[in-house]
Amino acid sequence: MTQAPLRDPALTLVARATPPAPKPSAERKEPIIELSHAGVTFETRKGEALTALEDLNLTIYREEIVSLVGPSGCGKSTALRILAGLQPLSSGDFWIGGGKTRQGFSEVAIVFQRPTLLPWRNVLDNVLYPARVLRGRATKEDKARALELLELVGLAEMAKRMPHELSGGMQQRASIARSLILDPKILLMDEPFGALDALTREDLQLDLLEIHARTKKTILLVTHSISEAVLLSDRVAVMSARPGRLQDLIEVDIPKPRGPESGALPAFHEYSRRIRDDIFGPRKRREVQA
């Protein structure tokens, strides 16, 4: 009892001594997404059970970018759909942001492989769509923010154009702007650059790094591309197929800010090789045995 009052002032002193803004290590370790023993089983038309995802444990911390990579059918998109609230769990549990119920794009926003813009609305209205759904209408502030975001993704001139007048890359930029309209904490991206040509893809990857540096969103990214995963992520979760489960979790320690030159670093190739080995390793062993 006599020691307690002594300890408290000491603690406050320490707290005061620490500058409040830059404490990256503490903030980075604050979990924001958690999947524990998550499993998804589908029933096929014939009535057979198909396990898409088995016993997935993954914690994602605030402000980090995590990539899910793996072969087709490893359940990486399923994992993302669980977190988006589009896929119910068969077993296990998860929480995202504050819990399981979400307030539209203001908590968790999603970017799909295809831009998925509504063809009957112009670019600005498409960006405003999540605000309209959530609040019934878009306020002046929403519109100002939408224009700001279009500026951020380099589409300021295109606000009044219809989606079909835009190139594929521009459409995907618009869909990224749309995902940010309600300032979500978390961005779920399902192979967002998978449908783009190689050059546009590279361009958008760098844009995403810049957007992340500015907005500090937590990003969960599903991708087929190993180099994309290494370039963008703080951690890469490698998954194996049938049944889908987590195989390896790699901390990518490449200095930031990253850019095209990061690809030339020896560490970059080291990480890429490790992921490639994770994915293709077992298959090679099987071939040797046969």
- Give the binding site for another protein (CB under 8 A): 84-86, 102-105, 108-110, 112, 114, 116, 118-120, 129-130, 132-134, 162, 164, 167-168
Nearer to another protein, 61 or 129 (CB): 129
CB of 36 to another protein, least distance (A): 22
Nearer to another protein, 175 or 240 (CB): 175
In Å, how far are 53, 274, 283 from 286, measured between CA atoms?
22, 19, 5
DSSP tally for the chain: helices H, then strands E: 9, 9
SS3 call for 99: strand
How far is Cα 224 from Cα 4, in angstroms, rounded to an integer? 55
How far is Cα 85 from Cα 89, in angstroms, rounded to an integer? 10
Nearer to another protein, 16 or 164 (CB): 164
Q: Name, in order, each residue with C-beta under 8 angstroms of 221's C-beta and a sequence gap of 6 or more.
A: 65, 66, 67, 68, 189, 192, 228, 229, 232, 233
Torsions phi, psi for 173 (to 5 deg): -60, -45
Number of Cβ within 10 Å of residue 141's Cβ equals 9
Q: At what angle do helices 140-152 and 168-180 cross, to 10 degrees?
A: 140
Nearer to another protein, 131 or 246 (CB): 131
User: For residue 118, how many C-alpha atoms fall within 13 Å in the half-sphere facing its CB?
Assistant: 11
CB of 116 to another protein, least distance (A): 5
CB of 40 to another protein, least distance (A): 16
CB of 29 to another protein, least distance (A): 27
Nearer to another protein, 114 or 143 (CB): 114
Nearer to another protein, 187 or 229 (CB): 187
CB of 129 to another protein, least distance (A): 7
CB of 198 to another protein, least distance (A): 17
CB of 23 to another protein, least distance (A): 32
SS3 call for 186: strand
How far is Cα 35 from Cα 96, in angstroms, rounded to an integer? 9
Nearer to another protein, 5 or 119 (CB): 119
